[in-house]
Amino acid sequence: MKFGIVRFPGSNCDEDAYKVVSNLLGEEAVYLWHEETSLQKSDCIILPGGFSYGDYLRAGAMAKLSPIVESIKKFAASGGLVLGICNGFQVLTEIGLLPGALTRNIHQQFICAWQNLRVENAKTPFTSLYKPDEEIRIPIANGEGRYSIDPKGLKSLEQNNQIVFRYVNNPNGSVSDIAGICNREGNVLGLMPHPERASEALLGGTDGLKLFKSIQKGRFLQGIRN
């Protein structure tokens, strides 16, 4: 399986994702520069955390203008797997692959801490190795991690089982405790917590590794797009 990890100016978790894929999964990983248009025949695209373009305008707003974005949209439309972590989640909402928006944390402060999450949907290609309602521990590191969506949009997320992760103790004021959502088709996931930072015991926990292993498992057993 081949993972393509997008690099924007300001990405800083790209190497973390690369090491999880290559060292822990034993899969191929390549970096994709934001000015390119080729996804190099990747099976899964990862938009990593960081501060794309310094987040000077609005988190993810400038990244959506990058040439590689149109290729990612087409890839997702064809059923390709796309994972957005933290700043990557912000980018996914800005480019329209996921609904809603990420706004300033309710206390207007940057938060960096381990958080307990509850798995709301264990039937996606990203969560198949988790159990429904399983409580896991994954860190967050964000200043604009407050997920916002209007009541109509929230109702749609709930009806279509698009809420994938919820905070047990909501740290940033996200609507309905939302920590991560997917699109209706289930092949695009965005989450604020950092699963790549919870993939080795040496780092403090391994609950995030199941997410990456779920992707790996899905590629072979569920016929996910090649």
* Domain residue limits, the chain: 2-221
Architecture of domain 2-221: 3-Layer(aba) Sandwich (3.40)
Q: Which residues are catalytic?
A: 86, 194, 196
Strands (E), the chain: 2-7, 28-33, 44-47, 81-85, 101-103, 111-119, 135-142, 146-148, 163-167, 178-182, 188-191
pTM reported for the whole predicted model: 0.94
Query: Alpha-carbon dihedral of residues 146, 142, 62, 182, nearest 10 degrees?
Result: -60
Task: Give the whole-angstrom CA distance, residue 120 versus residue 132.
Answer: 6
Cβ-proximal residues to 153 (8 Å cutoff; 6+ apart), any chain: 99, 100
pLDDT tens for each residue of 181-220: 999 999 999 999 999 999 999 999 999 999 999 999 976 4
Q: How far is CA 132 from CA 140, 194, 222, in A?
A: 21, 20, 19
What pLDDT is attached to residue 219?
A: 62
Residues of the chain with pLDDT under 70: 56-57, 219-226
* Three-class SS of 197-219: HHCEHHHCECCCHHHHHHHHHHH
